[in-house]
Amino acid sequence: MCIFCKIVAGDLPSYKVYEDDRILAFLNIKPVSSGQTLVIPKKHFANLEEVEEDDLTALILAVKRVGYLLKTKLGIPGYNLSVNNDPVAGQEIPHFHFHVIPRHNNDGLSPWPHFEYNEGEMEGIIKKLQN
């Protein structure tokens, strides 16, 4: 049983931010920003592709509620949503989840670096995706 399933089962403590019959949201114990909240389906899914559509709908609606709570109750001006889908993308817990990360002006958190495509590279990617 994964650590998030243990939290859902009540075998491990958590600081609950939101809960309903399908979803649990709780404070991240190692946040990148104070108030960072993890929003998870109660049912175990390893990654986004496994999540059933009804659970995914409930999940994104809960993410919206949590974002609203963070903005109105903690007074944050904005937040990032993050999903690390599979280990290669940085997913440490094999239970699909959203990170809701509070942001403040000049908080030192930086977005990912950007690059420019080489000539013809975008066309090659589109060909592969559309076939």
Q: Report, as residue numbers or ranges, the catalytic residues.
A: 97
Tell which residue, 37, 35, 45, 33, has the closest CA to residue 5: 45
Name 84's Cβ contacts closer than 8 Å, sequence gap at least 6.
90, 91, 92, 99
Report how far residue 31's alpha carbon sits from residue 28's, in angstroms, rounded to the nearest whole number.
5
Cα–Cα dist 107/38, whole Å: 20
Cα–Cα distance measured from residue 118 to residue 115, given in angstroms and rounded to the nearest whole number: 9
